[in-house]
Amino acid sequence: MKALIVSDNHGDQKILKDIQDQFAKQVDVLIHCGDSELPNDSTEMTHFQAVKGNNDWGLNYPPQLTLTVKDVKFLVVHGDRDRVNYSLTPLMLKAQSLGVQVVCYGHTHQLAVSMDAGTLFINPGSISLPLGEYSRIGGTFAIVGITKKQFVVDYYNRNCSPISELHFEFNRS
């Protein structure tokens, strides 16, 4: 199964449309980790499983979402309420209590991926306002391929092209 994960487009409608046009039929789920700044009934957001970010004022998204897609359980949060700028420990504890295999979060505008105790933690970075080491790319999103044995994570740029240096494989235990 494949999941496309994006976050922090901050009102940039065109990029979400471009991503959907390119990948919607190639993945099993589209996940948005918040700060879309777009109504959930907007054309650009209707196909995303999305949560509310700290800039989504007055929008009707849940603060967190758990969903199961093809026997893989996801937790989706923005991250501001889970203090992801400081530590992933609150998310790790939440993931353990919910029994999820993949945790998707945003908020920091910096891409990140790690594996802890059999759970994949992934931040796709900001598609529109990136920060940190990979900000030179100009925005990123991720596609995660999941098999019984492995998580395969590939990051893409705003042109929907894969970034070869940002390919990661993790064995599932």
70-96 pLDDT tens trace: 999 999 999 999 999 999 999 999 999
| Burial class of residue 100 in the structure, from the number of CB atoms within 10 Å of its CB (0-12 exposed, 13-18 middle, 19+ buried) | buried
Chain segment 94-116, per-residue pLDDT in tens? 999 999 999 999 999 999 999 99
Q: What is the extent of the structural domain holding 40?
A: 2-171
Domain count, the chain: 1
| 27-31 long-range contacts, CB within 8 A, separation 24+ | 27/2, 27/3, 27/143, 28/1, 28/2, 28/3, 28/69, 28/70, 29/1, 29/3, 29/4, 29/67, 29/69, 29/74, 30/3, 30/4, 30/6, 31/3, 31/4, 31/5, 31/6, 31/74, 31/76, 31/104
15-69 pLDDT tens trace: 999 999 999 999 999 999 999 999 999 999 999 999 999 999 999 999 999 999 9
Specify the CATH number for the domain of residue 34.
3.60.21.10
The pLDDT assigned to 36 comes to 98
Residue 56 has a pLDDT of 97
Tell me the pairing of strands 102-104 and 72-77.
Answer: parallel
Confidence band, pLDDT 50/70/90 cuts, at residue 4: very high
Q: Note the pLDDT of residue 140.
A: 98
**Res. 173: pLDDT tops 80:** no
